[in-house]
Chain A
Amino acid sequence: MQKGYQLFFGILAVMVISWLGLVVFPTVQLGHQSTRQVKEIGRHYPSEPGSIVLNGRKIYQQAGCVACHTQQVRQSGYAFDVVLNEVGDFPDSVKQILVDAAKLAGKALSGEEASSQMAQLPSTLLEGVDRVTAEGVIRLFKDSGAKVAANILPLGPDIQRGWGPRQTVGLDYLYDQPLLMGQQRLGPDLANVGARLTDRDWHLKHLYHPRSVVDGSNMPAYTYLFSVQPIDGEPSPDALELSEAFSAGEGMEVVPKPEAHALVDYLMSLRIENPVFEAPYMFTQADPSDINNSEMQPAQ
């Protein structure tokens, strides 16, 4: 072969460059992350999944959920909400600024309306404006003593659908091994499903027969996660309460198997409602103890 060494080194260079770009640099950039204290929820994030959640994760893999559901929320832009947090010592001048600012924006705001805005704090002055507008409005209040803040507002179709309050970032997948990010959306995104749908019975019914809770759902029924059995004396305490059309028949009951409970535990552990540095948003949840409570529930 002529110039074999040129071919060899040419191919080697192509492979090495791809390996550097696809493996080494991403590892340097995103690898070696560790859990972080998130002050909004008062604990480290992400928390290591417990054994029940890990079992549920296996069921999720076995049932092929990842083929139709993603776990990634995307963000396409951001805007700001301008919020008046504190009026300060000079309410009259703040009121005047509110009226003037409305005039600049081409709106009429009477003194009484301004007063009512100032009475209910925090009060949103502007919604979804760009940075220049937000900073301009904040500058108006600069010397008035009032505290006005621009709160970040993530934007994008996924966030608009309510699939999550922020985009997912590398940190969210720290314990996701193998990665179940998914790539097809035949069903909704599940990155934040634990926070979106908090009713355990709903999840169980939905797995047993999706159409029993969501009209027109195209999800297959995972009946094999449940045992349909004759009622022996008293009905089982965790038998599903199904409507007439989906019930198993007279004298029969539908009882979730441990696999169904584990899968629901896993689903309810999927939460991205805490802000992280790289995906900030205004966190307003009042009760931090609510987060990850599914891990504490017994799986029966």
Chain B
Amino acid sequence: MSSKPNNTKSKGKTGNDREPGVGKAPVSVGVFVVTILLAYWAMMELNTRAGGFSRYVYGPYESYAVVESVQPGSGDDPIKRGADIYRNICSPCHQASGMGAPGQFPPLAGSDWVNVEGPNRMLRIVLNGLGGPIEVNGETWNAVMPGFGDVIVSDEDLAAVISYVRNSWTNEASICTPEEAAAVRAESGDRGRAWTSTELLALPLEVQ
């Protein structure tokens, strides 16, 4: 076996005598363009049609979220119902991740106002809103949250969204029942003005 580089250029030998060799030949730019386009197309296909490579996603379902949303009876699950309400009403400020926005909206994920025994104070904040300074996880925030008592009219929905927040991300707290929501709404639903954190801290954690 010869490794002489001039073999490739040898014009003298023909046919079977010629040792095959490696040379350099110019390649059209089009080949690179087509390769990159193919790679791009393949990435797009994987991105949109591979279901996030989840073992729980089979066609024709597009993603894990779709599979989750079509589970039978999911409409009855308060947490899932709460997730819908949260997405529509709460997530513009507190974000889908529950992390809020620095300097503007306090986080709900891991918050020391959420991970407490009862939903009493949370229910009041959602119903009537909150104003003035409030300390969350050792940090002081000064923002105004409007009340959503006339947006979330059903006590079941109110309880569902509270339950969702109390059991999402890293939060682990009790489920809020529609009865608790109804009790708080009956007590302070027509209060007409926002709560302050000092007023709330004077109230018990659990619904009385």
**Chain A residues positioned under 8 Å from B5 (CB to CB):** 2
Complex Cα gap A167–B60 (Å): 10
Q: Are A151 and B72 within 8 A (Cβ)?
A: yes
A-B contact pairs, 15 of them (CB 8 A): A30-B55, A33-B55, A75-B58, A78-B60, A143-B154, A147-B76, A151-B72, A152-B71, A167-B58, A275-B72, A278-B56, A279-B58, A280-B70, A281-B72, A282-B72
Complex Cα gap A229–B200 (Å): 89
Complex Cα gap A170–B56 (Å): 9
CB distance from B65 to the nearest CB of A (A): 12
**Chain A residues positioned under 8 Å from B54 (CB to CB):** 29
**Chain A residues positioned under 8 Å from B56 (CB to CB):** 277-278
Q: Which of A25, A149, A169 contacts B73 (CB 8 A)?
A: A149
**Chain A residues positioned under 8 Å from B1 (CB to CB):** 1
The reply on B53 being an interface residue by CB < 8 A is yes
Per-residue CB contact flags for chain B residues 47-65 toward chain A (1 = under 8 Å, else 0) read 0000001111111110000
Given contacts A1-B1, A2-B22, 11 further A-B contacts (CB under 8 A): A1-B3, A2-B7, A2-B21, A29-B55, A33-B55, A76-B60, A77-B60, A147-B76, A167-B58, A277-B67, A282-B72
Q: Are A278 and B57 within 8 A (Cβ)?
A: yes
Report A267-300 residues with CB < 8 Å from chain B CB.
275, 277-283
**Chain B residues positioned under 8 Å from A138 (CB to CB):** 75
The reply on A262 being an interface residue by CB < 8 A is no
Q: Are B58 and A169 within 8 A (Cβ)?
A: yes
The reply on B153 being an interface residue by CB < 8 A is yes
Per-residue CB contact flags for chain A residues 144-181 toward chain B (1 = under 8 Å, else 0) read 00010111100000000000000101100000000000
Complex Cα gap A143–B150 (Å): 13
The reply on A3 being an interface residue by CB < 8 A is yes
Chain A residue at smallest Cβ distance from B53: A29
Complex Cα gap A167–B56 (Å): 13
Complex Cα gap A275–B67 (Å): 12
How many residues of A are in contact with the other chain, CB < 8 A? 31
How many residues of B are in contact with the other chain, CB < 8 A? 25
Interface residues of B (CB under 8 A from A): 1, 3, 5, 7-8, 21-22, 53-61, 67, 70-73, 75-76, 153-154
Complex Cα gap A147–B153 (Å): 16
Complex Cα gap A278–B59 (Å): 10
Complex Cα gap A58–B60 (Å): 33
**Chain B residues positioned under 8 Å from A1 (CB to CB):** 1, 3
Q: Are B57 and A283 within 8 A (Cβ)?
A: no
Q: Are A280 and B60 within 8 A (Cβ)?
A: no
Q: Are B75 and A150 within 8 A (Cβ)?
A: yes
Chain B residue at smallest Cβ distance from A148: B75
Counting from the closest, the 4 A-B pairs by CB-CB distance are A152-B70, A278-B56, A2-B22, A149-B75
Determine which residue in B1, B21, B56, B76 has the highest number of CB atoms from chain A within 10 A of its CB, and name it: B56
Complex Cα gap A295–B114 (Å): 50
Q: Are B58 and A280 within 8 A (Cβ)?
A: no
CB distance from B66 to the nearest CB of A (A): 9
Complex Cα gap A143–B59 (Å): 34
Chain A residue at smallest Cβ distance from B21: A2
**Chain B residues positioned under 8 Å from A75 (CB to CB):** 58-60
Chain B residue at smallest Cβ distance from A167: B58
CB distance from A98 to the nearest CB of B (A): 18
Q: Are A170 and B21 within 8 A (Cβ)?
A: no
Q: Are A2 and B67 within 8 A (Cβ)?
A: no
**Chain A residues positioned under 8 Å from B71 (CB to CB):** 152, 277, 280
Chain A residue at smallest Cβ distance from B59: A75
Q: Are B61 and A78 within 8 A (Cβ)?
A: yes
Complex Cα gap A247–B61 (Å): 50
**Chain B residues positioned under 8 Å from A33 (CB to CB):** 55
Q: Are B153 and A143 within 8 A (Cβ)?
A: yes
**Chain A residues positioned under 8 Å from B58 (CB to CB):** 75, 167, 169, 278-279
CB distance from B86 to the nearest CB of A (A): 16
Chain B residue at smallest Cβ distance from A33: B55
CB distance from B158 to the nearest CB of A (A): 14
**Chain A residues positioned under 8 Å from B57 (CB to CB):** 278
Report A240-282 residues with CB < 8 Å from chain B CB.
275, 277-282
**Chain A residues positioned under 8 Å from B8 (CB to CB):** 2
**Chain A residues positioned under 8 Å from B76 (CB to CB):** 147, 149
